[in-house]
A and B are shown apart, each in its own frame.
Chain A
Amino acid sequence: MEYFLQQLINGISLGAIYGLIAIGYTMVYGIIGMINFAHGEIYMIGAFVALITFLALGALGITWVPLALVVMLAASMLFTAVYGWTVERIAYRPLRNSPKLAPLISAIGISIFLQNYVQILQGARSKPLQPILPGNLTLMDGAVSVSYVRLATIIITVALMYGFTQLITRTSLGRAQRACEQDKKMAALLGVDVDRIISLTFVMGAALAAVAGMMVLLIYGVIDFYIGFLAGVKAFTAAVLGGIGSLPGAMLGGVVIGLIEAFWSGYMGSEWKDVATFTILVLVLIFRPTGLLGRPEIEKV
């Protein structure tokens, strides 16, 4: 039972990270219908910016942990968002009205580019970092322990999700965003600046991915230039699992994938966890082709 609870908490915190990345995929897919393959790389850049910010703060002599964490969060969201914006501006916007495969190839190109860009600049070796937030919260007489980092991950994710949901459902920006998702031409006719909304979608997705990157850095304490690929694929899997285009679906899919991974590694060993993830994806898609929370697609002739 304790072991089960332990895996549950691990799974939820891991799932929160996948969910944060998956939102970027699902929003972009919802609004312009492309798989943003470079999104995993954006997450990787978020992790690197967080690491660099932490080291810079250390060099400046700021070691008070709460302040350092807030600055890391803000810096990595800001700088990563600029990367997200630039990628959209350079590689996707000119291809807005092209055949569907063109932006996909362009995204794969950007992904290869960013991976090698970080590798050349920051070195190919993995970057270890000593724990910033050590310590555990013990529950049930020490049978279950939750590290503060995982707890912080879950809390920050929930807070971000709340804020984000408010942003999408309550503000005019969110309304415009949803309008573009439904019908870009009509939204443009009604005075919504579609290009700006799409840019902002990329900015928001990148900022959330940056948070995920920072969390991974804090939890695992080691990153390298290659982490973006697998995390990106899994997060996209999460988005598809939840029903692509649906924001709650992305979060749900992320948590499901996180739980599968945690329980599988907890009970069956970690070697085959990725196979388990993909197999479950295939099974879900066969029985529910539009994902868990997706709306059924209407075929138009």
Chain B
Amino acid sequence: MTALSMSSPRSIAWPAILKEAAITAFVALLLTIPLVGLRTVDRPTGLGLETRWAEVAAAVGLVFLGRLGLCLIRDGQPTVVLVLAAVATAAGFFIKMPTEALRVILIAGGAIIAIRAVIAIRTGRSKLSQAERDQRMDRIAAKVQHASRWLGPIAVVVALAFPLTPLADRQLLDIGILLLTYIMLGWGLNIVVGLAGLLDLGYVAFYAVGAYSYALLAHYFGLSFWLCLPLAGLLAAGSGVLLGFPVLRLRGDYFAIVTLGFGEIIRIILVNWYQFTGGPNGISGIPRPSFFGLADFVRSPPEGTLAFHEMFGLEFSPLHRIVFLYYLILALSLVVNLFTLRIRKLPLGRAWEALREDDIACASLGINRTNMKLAAFAIAAMFGGFAGSFFATRQGFISPESFTFIESAIILAIVVLGGMGSQIGVVVATLLVIGLPEAFRELADYRMLAFGMGMVLIMLWRPRGLLAHRDPTILLYGRNGKGTGGAAAGTAAAGGQGIAGGRAK
């Protein structure tokens, strides 16, 4: 019904709309002329230029039409736009565009505009306000958070059972290991960023410390993985304390830049101290883990030792090692998760959440801010170290290339996109951030392009993270004091002060 009333003729200010679309197209023209229209190419005589005006024209045309469509939706013509956008999307599959990227832009852009038009038709408005979108998503987030009580165990059971199903081939297991590694790192960083509220831009440094600790200890002293795992954690925690001690009294962004600098320092040391770390070539031949030091995953073990398949009377299969690694990282990440879930109920965890909400109030209540932050930093660093030494033993080869800033950024993105402090959010965000690009490997070059754009779009759509739902961990009158089911925020408000952190913001 609303659709009819919406499309009832309302005068459309064509000149204004055309002007707006033309301005947008002009900006697009300025953006594309130098970098898209003129390409530098290597010629035998030096650098040369190539022109690609067709791509510029196509891009500018698409931008013009897109803006026109959005303006028309705003001015109450969603039905027309919907039809046109759908036609454009369909046309994208058939007509020839100068490059494949432009075709993707046409299809995706057409689809997005069509969706906007549908929303406009259904709600009678051109777009939802931020607050409304937030409310809707908050409700979903609260439901997911609530459901995580039974969803979590199910997910764990599925993850446990996955390698035993016939689905699990080498490739899927590898992706599973990769995802779990990032989930573990995300949960580890969540302690610093999500619980204690410190912005750490150099988390990958501790990952690197862990990885190199194991690789070097194994290389120089021949220590086994099971001995090195706790050592790597200790060393990483030690480096966390070392860094944290001087810088933790810095505030906000100063802290962020120092952690970033620390990450870079570690990487530069790894590159430059080549006598010890192997420099940019890295370390290869890192020993694989054994089955808890009892048996190796080899076809024919050396005299006097036992191989894994002999121990359990199985046929030898190279998959055994992969499956074992999969369970290992699953166990490690579950340890991190369990730790976080439990510590939030302890004084230390509550102090972290309180620090995140209000630094000064905490100090006035007699909480030692530096020690609390240091603890968060060291514990997160330790988990990073565990993940690092797992990474080293899985790859068998590490180099400083694996520990660049972009890695820190990806882990931070996982935490923030998932919704700070939300454990299940980290899982969802990892599936999106790591899983999706992994699924679209054939896009090759465009993968990272889409990755960057995706990060921006998710933030625009949901600035507080996908599953942001700040439930105080502890409430004065208990969670079931008043009603259940998604009313947690309401309970917090009704119950007055949540002890840790007060109102869900």
Contact = CB atoms under 8 A, between A and B. Distances in A.
B459 A95 contact: yes
A155 interface: no
Nearest to A286: B246
A111 B452 contact: yes
Contact of A122 (B40, B199, B264, B413): B40
Interface string A269-291: 00110110011011001100100
Nearest to A106: B459
Contact of A236 (B257, B360, B454): B257
Interface in A15-58: 29, 35, 45, 48-49, 51-53, 55-56
Contact of A282 (B46, B258, B460, B464): B258
Interface stretch (B30-38, B89-97, B157-165, B394-402): B30-38
B34 A52 contact: yes
Interface in B292-326: none
Contacts of A123: 39-42
Contact of B449 (A78, A117, A236, A271): A117
Contact of B262 (A83, A102, A278): A278
B246 A282 contact: yes
B464 A91 contact: no
A224 B30 CA distance: 22
Given A82-B27, A86-B31, A127-B47, A282 B253 contact: no
Given A79-B34, A105-B416, A116 B463 contact: no
Interface residue SS majority, chain B: helix
Interface string A77-117: 01100110110001100110111111111101111111111
Contact of A278 (B48, B193, B265): B265
Interface residues of A, number: 73
B487 interface: no
Interface residues of B, number: 63
A132 interface: no
B453 A271 contact: no
A53 B247 contact: no
Interface string B18-35: 000000000100110111
Contacts of A79: 30-31, 33-34
A94 B460 contact: yes
Contacts of A53: 34
Contact of A116 (B36, B49, B251, B448): B448
Interface of A: 29, 35, 45, 48-49, 51-53, 55-56, 59, 75, 78-79, 82-83, 85-86, 90-91, 94-95, 97-106, 108-123, 125, 127-130, 229, 233, 236-237, 240, 244, 271-272, 274-275, 278-279, 281-282, 285-286, 289, 297, 299, 301
Given A55-B49, A83-B31, A278-B261, 20 more contacts: A35-B253, A53-B34, A86-B27, A86-B31, A91-B456, A95-B459, A99-B463, A109-B413, A113-B452, A121-B36, A122-B39, A123-B41, A233-B264, A240-B257, A244-B254, A279-B265, A282-B258, A285-B250, A286-B246, A301-B361
